[in-house]
Structure 1
Amino acid sequence: MARPRTFDRDDALDVAMRLFWEKGYDQTSIADLTAAIGISPPSLYAAFGDKRRLFEEAADRYDRTEGFTTAALEEPTTRAAVARLLGDAAVEYTRRGQPRGCMVLAEPHLGAHRAASRRALTARIERGVAEGELPPDTDVEGLVSYVVVVLSGLSARARDGASRAELAASAEVALAAWPGPPG
Protein backbone atom coordinates (compact mmCIF):
# COMPACT_ATOMS: atom_id res chain seq x y z
CA MET A 1 0.00 0.00 0.00
CA ALA A 2 1.35 3.43 -0.98
CA ARG A 3 2.00 5.90 1.81
CA PRO A 4 0.08 9.16 1.59
CA ARG A 5 2.05 12.29 0.72
CA THR A 6 3.18 14.22 3.77
CA PHE A 7 3.27 17.60 2.03
CA ASP A 8 0.82 19.88 0.26
CA ARG A 9 1.41 19.71 -3.50
CA ASP A 10 0.22 23.29 -4.10
CA ASP A 11 2.51 24.63 -1.38
CA ALA A 12 5.37 22.63 -2.86
CA LEU A 13 4.67 24.15 -6.28
CA ASP A 14 4.72 27.65 -4.79
CA VAL A 15 8.08 26.96 -3.16
CA ALA A 16 9.49 25.49 -6.39
CA MET A 17 8.15 28.42 -8.42
CA ARG A 18 9.86 30.95 -6.19
CA LEU A 19 13.11 28.98 -6.21
CA PHE A 20 13.15 28.71 -10.01
CA TRP A 21 12.22 32.40 -10.20
CA GLU A 22 15.11 33.40 -7.92
CA LYS A 23 17.81 31.07 -9.22
CA GLY A 24 16.67 29.94 -12.67
CA TYR A 25 16.16 26.41 -13.91
CA ASP A 26 19.81 25.56 -14.54
CA GLN A 27 21.02 26.87 -11.17
CA THR A 28 18.31 25.11 -9.15
CA SER A 29 19.28 21.59 -8.13
CA ILE A 30 17.15 18.71 -6.93
CA ALA A 31 18.88 19.16 -3.57
CA ASP A 32 17.78 22.83 -3.51
CA LEU A 33 14.22 21.84 -4.33
CA THR A 34 13.95 19.00 -1.81
CA ALA A 35 15.51 21.13 0.95
CA ALA A 36 13.20 24.09 0.26
CA ILE A 37 10.07 21.94 -0.03
CA GLY A 38 11.09 19.69 2.87
CA ILE A 39 10.75 16.34 1.09
CA SER A 40 13.04 13.57 -0.06
CA PRO A 41 14.11 13.16 -3.69
CA PRO A 42 11.93 10.03 -4.11
CA SER A 43 8.90 12.00 -2.88
CA LEU A 44 9.66 14.83 -5.31
CA TYR A 45 9.94 12.37 -8.20
CA ALA A 46 6.74 10.58 -7.14
CA ALA A 47 4.82 13.86 -6.97
CA PHE A 48 6.21 15.68 -10.01
CA GLY A 49 8.02 13.16 -12.20
CA ASP A 50 11.30 14.99 -12.62
CA LYS A 51 12.87 18.44 -12.33
CA ARG A 52 11.76 19.49 -15.81
CA ARG A 53 8.11 18.60 -15.21
CA LEU A 54 8.18 20.36 -11.85
CA PHE A 55 9.66 23.42 -13.57
CA GLU A 56 6.95 23.39 -16.25
CA GLU A 57 4.23 23.15 -13.59
CA ALA A 58 5.90 25.96 -11.64
CA ALA A 59 6.04 28.13 -14.78
CA ASP A 60 2.35 27.47 -15.47
CA ARG A 61 1.57 28.37 -11.86
CA TYR A 62 3.58 31.58 -12.29
CA ASP A 63 1.47 32.49 -15.33
CA ARG A 64 -1.74 31.85 -13.37
CA THR A 65 -0.77 33.56 -10.12
CA GLU A 66 1.80 36.22 -11.00
CA GLY A 67 1.01 37.07 -14.61
CA PHE A 68 -0.66 40.38 -15.35
CA THR A 69 -0.46 40.58 -19.15
CA THR A 70 -3.94 39.22 -19.86
CA ALA A 71 -5.69 41.72 -17.59
CA ALA A 72 -3.67 44.63 -18.96
CA LEU A 73 -4.46 43.74 -22.57
CA GLU A 74 -8.18 43.87 -21.79
CA GLU A 75 -8.05 47.66 -21.33
CA PRO A 76 -10.40 49.52 -23.69
CA THR A 77 -7.66 51.09 -25.83
CA THR A 78 -4.31 49.79 -27.00
CA ARG A 79 -2.47 52.72 -25.44
CA ALA A 80 -4.24 52.11 -22.11
CA ALA A 81 -3.39 48.41 -22.36
CA VAL A 82 0.31 49.10 -22.87
CA ALA A 83 0.29 51.82 -20.18
CA ARG A 84 -1.22 49.36 -17.73
CA LEU A 85 1.20 46.62 -18.81
CA LEU A 86 4.22 48.84 -18.15
CA GLY A 87 2.75 50.29 -14.96
CA ASP A 88 1.83 46.88 -13.59
CA ALA A 89 5.33 45.65 -14.43
CA ALA A 90 6.85 48.40 -12.26
CA VAL A 91 4.65 47.30 -9.36
CA GLU A 92 4.84 43.53 -9.81
CA TYR A 93 8.57 43.35 -10.51
CA THR A 94 9.28 45.09 -7.18
CA ARG A 95 6.61 43.54 -4.96
CA ARG A 96 7.81 42.75 -1.44
CA GLY A 97 8.07 39.13 -0.42
CA GLN A 98 8.77 37.76 -3.88
CA PRO A 99 11.76 37.51 -6.19
CA ARG A 100 12.34 40.66 -8.23
CA GLY A 101 11.76 40.92 -11.94
CA CYS A 102 9.85 38.53 -14.19
CA MET A 103 10.45 34.78 -14.10
CA VAL A 104 9.32 34.35 -17.72
CA LEU A 105 11.47 37.14 -19.14
CA ALA A 106 14.54 36.08 -17.14
CA GLU A 107 14.40 32.33 -17.77
CA PRO A 108 15.90 31.07 -21.05
CA HIS A 109 13.86 27.85 -20.85
CA LEU A 110 10.52 29.72 -21.02
CA GLY A 111 10.61 30.78 -24.67
CA ALA A 112 7.18 29.27 -25.35
CA HIS A 113 5.68 31.39 -22.56
CA ARG A 114 7.33 34.52 -23.96
CA ALA A 115 6.07 33.67 -27.44
CA ALA A 116 2.50 33.28 -26.16
CA SER A 117 2.66 36.68 -24.44
CA ARG A 118 4.12 38.21 -27.59
CA ARG A 119 1.26 36.78 -29.68
CA ALA A 120 -1.30 38.26 -27.27
CA LEU A 121 0.40 41.67 -27.40
CA THR A 122 0.60 41.48 -31.21
CA ALA A 123 -3.12 40.70 -31.43
CA ARG A 124 -3.92 43.67 -29.15
CA ILE A 125 -1.84 46.08 -31.21
CA GLU A 126 -3.28 44.72 -34.48
CA ARG A 127 -6.74 45.32 -33.02
CA GLY A 128 -5.70 48.89 -32.22
CA VAL A 129 -4.69 49.40 -35.85
CA ALA A 130 -7.91 47.81 -37.13
CA GLU A 131 -10.02 50.02 -34.82
CA GLY A 132 -8.21 53.19 -35.92
CA GLU A 133 -6.45 53.86 -32.61
CA LEU A 134 -3.09 53.51 -34.34
CA PRO A 135 -2.14 54.67 -37.83
CA PRO A 136 -2.74 52.10 -40.58
CA ASP A 137 0.97 52.07 -41.42
CA THR A 138 1.98 51.18 -37.84
CA ASP A 139 4.93 48.79 -37.70
CA VAL A 140 3.14 46.29 -35.48
CA GLU A 141 6.10 43.94 -35.07
CA GLY A 142 8.42 46.86 -34.34
CA LEU A 143 6.00 48.21 -31.73
CA VAL A 144 5.58 44.77 -30.14
CA SER A 145 9.36 44.38 -29.99
CA TYR A 146 9.67 47.81 -28.41
CA VAL A 147 7.19 46.94 -25.64
CA VAL A 148 8.88 43.58 -25.03
CA VAL A 149 12.31 45.23 -24.82
CA VAL A 150 10.99 47.79 -22.33
CA LEU A 151 9.42 45.03 -20.21
CA SER A 152 12.66 43.03 -20.34
CA GLY A 153 14.61 46.10 -19.31
CA LEU A 154 12.25 46.81 -16.42
CA SER A 155 12.63 43.21 -15.27
CA ALA A 156 16.43 43.36 -15.47
CA ARG A 157 16.56 46.67 -13.61
CA ALA A 158 14.27 45.26 -10.90
CA ARG A 159 16.59 42.27 -10.49
CA ASP A 160 19.47 44.71 -10.15
CA GLY A 161 17.66 46.49 -7.30
CA ALA A 162 15.91 49.40 -9.02
CA SER A 163 13.07 50.91 -7.03
CA ARG A 164 9.43 50.85 -8.01
CA ALA A 165 9.58 54.61 -8.57
CA GLU A 166 12.53 54.23 -10.96
CA LEU A 167 10.74 51.55 -12.94
CA ALA A 168 7.53 53.61 -13.05
CA ALA A 169 9.48 56.64 -14.33
CA SER A 170 11.12 54.49 -17.02
CA ALA A 171 7.71 53.13 -18.01
CA GLU A 172 6.38 56.68 -18.37
CA VAL A 173 9.31 57.70 -20.58
CA ALA A 174 8.82 54.58 -22.70
CA LEU A 175 5.12 55.34 -23.09
CA ALA A 176 5.95 58.84 -24.32
CA ALA A 177 7.24 57.20 -27.50
CA TRP A 178 3.83 55.62 -28.19
CA PRO A 179 2.47 56.57 -31.62
CA GLY A 180 -0.38 59.04 -31.68
CA PRO A 181 -1.58 61.57 -29.13
CA PRO A 182 -0.99 60.95 -25.40
CA GLY A 183 -3.76 59.06 -23.66
Structure 2
Amino acid sequence: MNTPTPTPGRPRAFDEQTVLDRATEVFWRHGYEGASLSTLTSAMGINRPSLYATFGSKEQLFQRVFERYRETQAAAARTALDQPTAYAAVEAFLRASADGLTADDHPAGCLSIQAGLACSPENARITEALAAGRAATEAALEERLTRAAREGDLPDGVDPRALARFVMALSEGHAVHAAAGATREQLHASVDVALRAVALRESTNIS
Protein backbone atom coordinates (compact mmCIF):
# COMPACT_ATOMS: atom_id res chain seq x y z
CA MET A 1 0.00 0.00 0.00
CA ASN A 2 1.46 3.33 -1.04
CA THR A 3 1.63 6.07 1.55
CA PRO A 4 0.27 9.39 0.26
CA THR A 5 2.89 12.05 -0.14
CA PRO A 6 2.20 14.98 2.20
CA THR A 7 1.28 18.18 0.40
CA PRO A 8 2.11 21.63 1.68
CA GLY A 9 -0.71 23.71 3.15
CA ARG A 10 -2.60 26.02 0.87
CA PRO A 11 -0.85 29.40 0.68
CA ARG A 12 -2.77 32.42 1.84
CA ALA A 13 -4.89 33.92 -0.90
CA PHE A 14 -4.45 37.47 0.43
CA ASP A 15 -1.71 39.96 1.16
CA GLU A 16 -1.43 40.38 4.93
CA GLN A 17 -0.37 44.03 4.82
CA THR A 18 -3.26 44.91 2.51
CA VAL A 19 -5.85 43.36 4.79
CA LEU A 20 -4.24 45.07 7.78
CA ASP A 21 -4.64 48.41 6.02
CA ARG A 22 -8.31 47.63 5.43
CA ALA A 23 -8.79 46.62 9.07
CA THR A 24 -7.12 49.85 10.14
CA GLU A 25 -9.72 51.90 8.29
CA VAL A 26 -12.56 49.96 9.90
CA PHE A 27 -11.19 50.44 13.42
CA TRP A 28 -10.47 54.09 12.64
CA ARG A 29 -14.03 54.77 11.45
CA HIS A 30 -15.95 52.65 13.94
CA GLY A 31 -13.70 52.36 17.00
CA TYR A 32 -12.64 49.06 18.49
CA GLU A 33 -16.01 48.07 19.92
CA GLY A 34 -17.98 49.43 16.97
CA ALA A 35 -15.96 47.35 14.50
CA SER A 36 -17.87 44.08 14.28
CA LEU A 37 -16.25 40.92 13.00
CA SER A 38 -18.67 40.95 10.07
CA THR A 39 -17.65 44.50 9.14
CA LEU A 40 -13.98 43.65 9.53
CA THR A 41 -14.04 40.46 7.47
CA SER A 42 -16.13 42.12 4.76
CA ALA A 43 -13.72 45.04 4.46
CA MET A 44 -10.67 42.79 4.66
CA GLY A 45 -12.04 40.40 2.03
CA ILE A 46 -11.44 37.32 4.19
CA ASN A 47 -13.63 34.97 6.21
CA ARG A 48 -13.60 34.50 9.97
CA PRO A 49 -11.52 31.30 9.95
CA SER A 50 -8.85 33.13 7.95
CA LEU A 51 -8.92 36.05 10.36
CA TYR A 52 -8.53 33.76 13.36
CA ALA A 53 -5.85 31.65 11.68
CA THR A 54 -3.79 34.67 10.67
CA PHE A 55 -4.30 37.14 13.51
CA GLY A 56 -5.64 35.05 16.39
CA SER A 57 -8.53 37.22 17.58
CA LYS A 58 -10.12 40.61 17.10
CA GLU A 59 -7.98 42.01 19.92
CA GLN A 60 -4.79 40.59 18.44
CA LEU A 61 -5.78 41.97 15.05
CA PHE A 62 -6.20 45.40 16.60
CA GLN A 63 -2.81 45.12 18.28
CA ARG A 64 -1.25 44.45 14.87
CA VAL A 65 -3.17 47.38 13.40
CA PHE A 66 -2.02 49.73 16.14
CA GLU A 67 1.59 48.63 15.83
CA ARG A 68 1.43 49.33 12.11
CA TYR A 69 -0.25 52.67 12.73
CA ARG A 70 2.45 53.67 15.18
CA GLU A 71 5.12 52.80 12.64
CA THR A 72 3.57 54.62 9.70
CA GLN A 73 1.66 57.56 11.18
CA ALA A 74 2.89 58.51 14.65
CA ALA A 75 6.54 57.93 13.75
CA ALA A 76 6.32 60.70 11.15
CA ALA A 77 5.36 63.22 13.83
CA ARG A 78 8.08 62.07 16.20
CA THR A 79 10.79 62.69 13.61
CA ALA A 80 9.95 66.37 14.01
CA LEU A 81 11.75 66.26 17.33
CA ASP A 82 15.06 66.09 15.47
CA GLN A 83 14.78 69.81 14.68
CA PRO A 84 17.73 71.82 16.03
CA THR A 85 15.78 74.03 18.48
CA ALA A 86 12.92 73.40 20.89
CA TYR A 87 10.73 75.97 19.16
CA ALA A 88 11.37 74.39 15.75
CA ALA A 89 10.72 70.92 17.16
CA VAL A 90 7.39 71.94 18.68
CA GLU A 91 6.35 73.69 15.48
CA ALA A 92 7.36 70.74 13.29
CA PHE A 93 5.55 68.33 15.61
CA LEU A 94 2.30 70.30 15.57
CA ARG A 95 2.45 70.99 11.81
CA ALA A 96 3.10 67.33 11.02
CA SER A 97 0.29 66.33 13.36
CA ALA A 98 -2.16 68.73 11.68
CA ASP A 99 -1.18 67.40 8.25
CA GLY A 100 -1.54 63.80 9.36
CA LEU A 101 -4.93 64.36 10.96
CA THR A 102 -6.31 65.74 7.71
CA ALA A 103 -4.53 63.52 5.17
CA ASP A 104 -6.59 62.11 2.30
CA ASP A 105 -5.40 58.50 2.55
CA HIS A 106 -7.19 57.63 5.77
CA PRO A 107 -10.18 58.79 7.84
CA ALA A 108 -9.86 62.21 9.43
CA GLY A 109 -8.56 62.37 12.96
CA CYS A 110 -6.40 59.95 14.91
CA LEU A 111 -6.79 56.19 15.30
CA SER A 112 -5.37 56.40 18.81
CA ILE A 113 -8.10 58.83 19.89
CA GLN A 114 -11.05 57.41 18.00
CA ALA A 115 -10.54 53.70 18.45
CA GLY A 116 -10.86 53.24 22.16
CA LEU A 117 -11.49 56.19 24.45
CA ALA A 118 -14.94 54.87 25.35
CA CYS A 119 -14.27 51.13 25.56
CA SER A 120 -16.23 49.10 28.11
CA PRO A 121 -14.36 47.59 31.11
CA GLU A 122 -13.93 44.21 29.41
CA ASN A 123 -11.92 45.94 26.69
CA ALA A 124 -9.82 48.04 29.06
CA ARG A 125 -6.65 46.56 27.54
CA ILE A 126 -7.41 48.38 24.29
CA THR A 127 -7.83 51.72 26.04
CA GLU A 128 -4.65 51.10 28.02
CA ALA A 129 -2.65 50.22 24.90
CA LEU A 130 -3.79 53.37 23.12
CA ALA A 131 -3.04 55.51 26.18
CA ALA A 132 0.42 53.93 26.41
CA GLY A 133 1.08 54.85 22.79
CA ARG A 134 0.14 58.47 23.40
CA ALA A 135 2.19 58.51 26.61
CA ALA A 136 5.23 57.28 24.68
CA THR A 137 4.92 60.19 22.27
CA GLU A 138 4.53 62.64 25.15
CA ALA A 139 7.58 61.14 26.85
CA ALA A 140 9.60 61.67 23.67
CA LEU A 141 8.47 65.30 23.60
CA GLU A 142 9.39 65.75 27.25
CA GLU A 143 12.81 64.21 26.68
CA ARG A 144 13.47 66.56 23.76
CA LEU A 145 12.35 69.62 25.75
CA THR A 146 14.33 68.56 28.81
CA ARG A 147 17.43 68.41 26.65
CA ALA A 148 16.57 71.87 25.34
CA ALA A 149 16.31 73.17 28.91
CA ARG A 150 19.75 71.73 29.74
CA GLU A 151 21.19 73.42 26.66
CA GLY A 152 19.66 76.80 27.54
CA ASP A 153 17.25 76.54 24.62
CA LEU A 154 14.15 77.08 26.78
CA PRO A 155 13.32 80.26 28.72
CA ASP A 156 13.99 80.15 32.45
CA GLY A 157 11.09 78.76 34.42
CA VAL A 158 9.53 76.74 31.59
CA ASP A 159 8.66 73.24 32.78
CA PRO A 160 9.52 70.74 30.01
CA ARG A 161 6.95 68.25 31.28
CA ALA A 162 4.16 70.84 31.36
CA LEU A 163 5.11 72.11 27.90
CA ALA A 164 5.11 68.56 26.52
CA ARG A 165 1.67 67.99 28.01
CA PHE A 166 0.43 71.26 26.46
CA VAL A 167 1.71 70.26 23.01
CA MET A 168 0.13 66.81 23.27
CA ALA A 169 -3.16 68.24 24.54
CA LEU A 170 -3.29 70.57 21.54
CA SER A 171 -2.48 67.75 19.13
CA GLU A 172 -5.08 65.44 20.69
CA GLY A 173 -7.67 68.21 20.69
CA HIS A 174 -6.94 68.76 17.01
CA ALA A 175 -7.66 65.06 16.44
CA VAL A 176 -11.14 65.48 17.86
CA HIS A 177 -11.79 68.57 15.76
CA ALA A 178 -10.41 66.97 12.60
CA ALA A 179 -12.72 63.99 13.05
CA ALA A 180 -15.61 66.47 13.38
CA GLY A 181 -14.68 68.15 10.10
CA ALA A 182 -12.09 70.81 10.90
CA THR A 183 -9.88 71.56 7.89
CA ARG A 184 -6.12 71.48 7.69
CA GLU A 185 -6.07 75.28 7.38
CA GLN A 186 -8.11 75.62 10.57
CA LEU A 187 -5.77 73.34 12.49
CA HIS A 188 -2.71 75.22 11.27
CA ALA A 189 -4.35 78.49 12.36
CA SER A 190 -4.65 77.04 15.85
CA VAL A 191 -0.99 76.03 15.72
CA ASP A 192 -0.16 79.65 14.82
CA VAL A 193 -1.85 80.83 18.02
CA ALA A 194 0.03 78.28 20.14
CA LEU A 195 3.35 79.24 18.61
CA ARG A 196 2.70 82.93 19.26
CA ALA A 197 2.07 82.06 22.91
CA VAL A 198 5.41 80.25 23.09
CA ALA A 199 7.21 83.13 21.36
CA LEU A 200 5.56 85.66 23.71
CA ARG A 201 6.86 83.73 26.73
CA GLU A 202 10.34 83.72 25.18
CA SER A 203 10.35 87.46 24.50
CA THR A 204 9.03 88.22 27.99
CA ASN A 205 11.90 86.31 29.58
CA ILE A 206 14.50 87.87 27.31
CA SER A 207 13.41 91.42 28.11
**TM-score, L = length of structure 1:** 0.93
Query: Which residue of 1 is the match for residue 66 of structure 2?
Result: 59
* CA drift at 1:97: 3.0
Aligned residue for 1:26, secondary structure, equals helix
Counterpart pick for 1:8 among 12, 15, 18: 15
Aligned residue for 2:172, secondary structure, equals helix
Superposed, 1:61-140 pairs within 5 Å as 61-67=68-74, 68-107=76-115, 108=117, 109=127, 110-140=130-160
- The one-letter amino acid paired with 2:147 is R
Cα distance in 1, alignment partners of residues 100 and 203 from structure 2: 27
CA contact (8 A) 1:20 1:28 kept: yes
1:169 aligns with 2:169: no
**Higher gyration radius (CA):** 2
Larger displacement relative to structure 2 (64-73 or 158-167): 64-73
- The one-letter amino acid paired with 1:115 is A
- The one-letter amino acid paired with 2:145 is I
Cα distance in 2, alignment partners of residues 129 and 105 from structure 1: 30
Aligned residue for 1:2, secondary structure, equals coil
Larger displacement relative to structure 2 (129-138 or 160-169): 129-138
- Alignment size in residue pairs: 182
Q: What 5-or-longer segments of structure 1 have no aligned partner? A: none
Query: Which residue of 1 is the match for residue 124 of structure 2?
Result: none
Query: Which residue of 2 is the match for residue 146 of structure 1?
Result: 166
Cα distance in 2, alignment partners of residues 136 and 106 from structure 1: 37
Cα distance in 2, alignment partners of residues 117 and 88 from structure 1: 13
Larger displacement relative to structure 2 (132-141 or 51-60): 132-141
* CA drift at 1:181: 4.1
Q: Structure 1 residue runs of 4+, over 4 Å off?
A: none
- The one-letter amino acid paired with 1:89 is S
1:40 aligns with 2:47: yes
* CA drift at 1:2: 2.9
Bigger fraction of residues in helix: 2
Cα distance in 2, alignment partners of residues 126 and 85 from structure 1: 16
Superposed, 1:21-40 pairs within 5 Å as 21-40=28-47
CA contact (8 A) 1:69 1:117 kept: no
CA contact (8 A) 1:130 1:136 kept: no
Cα distance in 2, alignment partners of residues 25 and 180 from structure 1: 42
Q: Give the share of equivalent positions with the same residue, in percent.
A: 40
**TM-score, L = length of structure 2:** 0.83
1:75/1:181 CA distance change after superposition, 3 Å: farther
Cα distance in 1, alignment partners of residues 157 and 90 from structure 2: 19
Alignment root-mean-square deviation, CA = 1.5
